[in-house]
Amino acid sequence: MRGTAVRDGQHNLGEPGAGPSDQELVDAARKGDRGAYATLVNRHLRSVYSVALRVLGQPAEAEDVSQDTFLRAFERLDLFDDSRSFRNWLLKIASNLAINRIRSRGRERRLQLKLVECDERGGGGEADDVPGPSEWAHWLAQIDDMQRAAIVLFHFHEMPYTEIAEVLQVPVNTVRTYLYRGRKRLRELMTGESVSENGAWTAAM
Amino acid sequence: MDCGDVNRLMEPYLDRQLNALSIEQIKAHLTSCEACRRRWGGLIELLANPAPVAVPEGLAERILVAWETRQAERADSPRRVAASAAWARRFRLVHYAGAIAACVLFFVTGWLFSGWWRQPAAGVTEGTGTAPTITVMVSPWVLSSMAQAAAMPAPVNPAVMLASGVVPEMMVPAPAESRPVRYFERPSGVSTTQPAETDPARNLQLLPMLPPRYLGA
């Protein structure tokens, strides 16, 4: 699982031939099958950890959130709606926990430093073939927490607007605003230019 | 599609709200237009291809261990609850026994200090047999209390005094000249048909149960 360049949003969704589906594993876990729990963790940990790290920016907090996510999900397995995606359910729990952490700690500048640090540390490791891991973390760390959360959930984990709105506890239109402003800020950071409200470039190209 | 169209459609494109044709046209324009590629290429690449995240070593195992631990705690908790319930039942019995003992002690103490030995109750006659000997161990404090109680005058029953013709001093109206000043005198212009100050019998009507012969009539 580690070191693969598989996009986080395209993990095993229970297709035939790739082992038991999520639904089968959930059913087995409800009956107390320990192996089912382990398989579910191994299958979805990467997505859950990615959401937590990208939203929070701190590996230690992301690990805590990942653990809390699985514990909470397993404890409430009976409440899981079988007609929905187990992975999306997990990501929703992880996002909620991460957003709660952001709200509790407030806006702290040290987040940026931590995020850059961790990425520089991990940048020389397994992901050498993927360009610019520290770069995206650097850009993402500089935008507003809620805007970053919306961008991470929408673009990196393909969560729909409505679910992002539920996670962030804001109206759907606010999610659109977060996305727009976050992307605008990213463009400004990446190009060093200021962008007007209508998206036009104000500086000479 | 020109650069203006791309700028205008880029937000809907990033929001995945464009149809396939428009998406292809934008991609084609970005491939051919260096300015638009510089303007939008970095953001598109960042959002479309996020850097993979390496999961920390051993995190999955830690999560599973935490889950096993929580399950073990949950399995253990019913036994603990049962044990604590048994303790609660035992403690409840102890509480009841303590409350009963405290009540008994209270009444026995009150009975011992009620002065029942000072005078026999009415209607009790002296027996001819030998009274049983009761040994009571008392402390000096109890002895002094008993001595004080014995030195006190006997209680006065006002009904007995009135029945024997002794009217308590407080019931006799004081002479008018020695009365204290009243601050609620009636206005001088108001006449009263029967001034209370001059009629001692009116004050004595406070005791309607007394026969008239005791009221000086």
Model ipTM? 0.71
List chain A residues with CB under 8 Å of B50. Answer: 7-8, 54, 136, 155-156
**From A73, which residue of chain B is nearest by alpha-carbon distance?**
B67
Using an 8 Å Cβ cutoff, are A55 and A95 in contact? yes
Contacts of residue A105, defined as CB under 8 A and 6 or more positions apart, other chains included, come to none
- Single out the residue of A98, A101, A13, A93 nearest to residue A54, CA to CA: A98
Is pLDDT at A121 greater than 50 in this prediction? no
Tell me the pLDDT band of A134, cut-offs 50, 70 and 90. Answer: low
Q: How far is CA A110 from the centre of its chain?
A: 20
List chain A residues with CB under 8 Å of B51. Answer: 127, 130, 132-133, 135-137
Taking only residues 11 to 70 of chain A, the set having a beta carbon closer than 8 angstroms to any beta carbon of chain B reads 34, 37-38, 41-42, 45-46, 49-50, 53-54, 59, 63, 66-67, 70
Tokens of B129: 């047999």
List chain A residues with CB under 8 Å of B14. Answer: 155, 179, 183
From residue A16, give the alpha-carbon distance in Å to each of A6, A19, A20, A22.
Answer: 19, 7, 8, 11
3-state secondary structure of A201: strand
List chain B residues with CB under 8 Å of A196. Answer: none
List chain A residues with CB under 8 Å of B66. Answer: 67, 71
Hey, is the C-beta of A95 within 8 angstroms of any chain B C-beta? no
Using an 8 Å Cβ cutoff, are A94 and A77 in contact? no
Distance CA B204, CA B197 (A): 12
Hey, is the C-beta of B56 within 8 angstroms of any chain A C-beta? yes
Dump pLDDT digits (tens) for A181-197.
Answer: 999 998 888 877 666 54
Interface test with A, best of B15, B16, B38, B59 (most A CBs within 10 A): B59
Q: What percent of chain B has pLDDT over 70?
A: 58
Scored b (16 or more CB within 10 A) or e, A175-190 reads: bbebbbbbbbbbbebb
Hey, is the C-beta of B65 within 8 angstroms of any chain A C-beta? no
Where does chain B have alpha helices with state H? 3-14, 20-32, 34-48, 59-112, 140-151, 158-163, 200-204
3-state secondary structure of B37: helix
Kindly report the number of other CB atoms within 10 A of residue A37's CB atom: 23
**From A70, which residue of chain B is nearest by alpha-carbon distance?**
B63
Is pLDDT at B9 greater than 60 in this prediction? yes
Residue B110, amino acid = G
**From B3, which residue of chain A is nearest by alpha-carbon distance?**
A200
Say if the Cβ atoms of B52 and A54 lie within 8 Å: no
Tell me the pLDDT band of A13, cut-offs 50, 70 and 90. Answer: very low
Distance CA A122, CA A135 (A): 12
* A-B C-beta contacts closer than 8 Å: 108
Using an 8 Å Cβ cutoff, are A156 and A54 in contact? yes
Tokens of B195: 């001034």
- Single out the residue of A39, A70, A66 nearest to residue A54, CA to CA: A66
Sign of CA dihedral B192, B195, B196, B202: negative
Average pLDDT across chain B, whole number: 74
Using a 10 angstrom Cβ sphere, with 0-12 exposed, 13-18 middle and 19 or more buried, the burial of residue A148 is: buried
Maximum C-alpha span of chain B: 136
Tokens of B22: 């428009």
Dump pLDDT digits (tens) for A18-50.
Answer: 678 888 888 888 888 888 889 999 999 999 999
Mean pLDDT computed over B144-149 = 82
Distance CA A161, CA A153 (A): 9
Tokens of B112: 């011992």
Say if the Cβ atoms of B54 and A187 lie within 8 Å: no
Say if the Cβ atoms of A190 and B42 lie within 8 Å: yes
